[in-house]
Amino acid sequence: MNEQTVCNIVEDLLPNYLERLTSEETNRFVGEHLEGCERCRKLLEAMSADLRSDRKAPKGELKFL
């Protein structure tokens, strides 16, 4: 499998990886890839930052008509 294909697979897995919804085998695969791929590490960091900011957003009261 070429490196671009592996990056595409990891990119698809990252949201579930961040939410800890992936198997141990998938975690190892993604973790090993991230060790050697700066592009995917940066993408993971950006997704993590977005996730943290979403969780810190204040929950407002919903007003219905």
Look at residue 2 and tell me whether its pLDDT is greater than 90. yes
The rounded distance, in Å, linking the Cα atoms of 6 and 56 is: 32
Query: Mind listing the pLDDT tens digit for each residue in 6-60?
Result: 999 999 999 999 999 999 999 999 999 999 999 999 999 999 998 776 665 556 6
pLDDT attached to residue 58: 58
Better-predicted residue by pLDDT, 62 or 24: 24
Give one DSSP letter per residue of 30-58, joined into a string.
Answer: HHHHHHH-HHHHHHHHHHHHHHHHHHHS-
Give the side-chain half-sphere CA count within 13 A for 20: 0
pLDDT attached to residue 64: 74
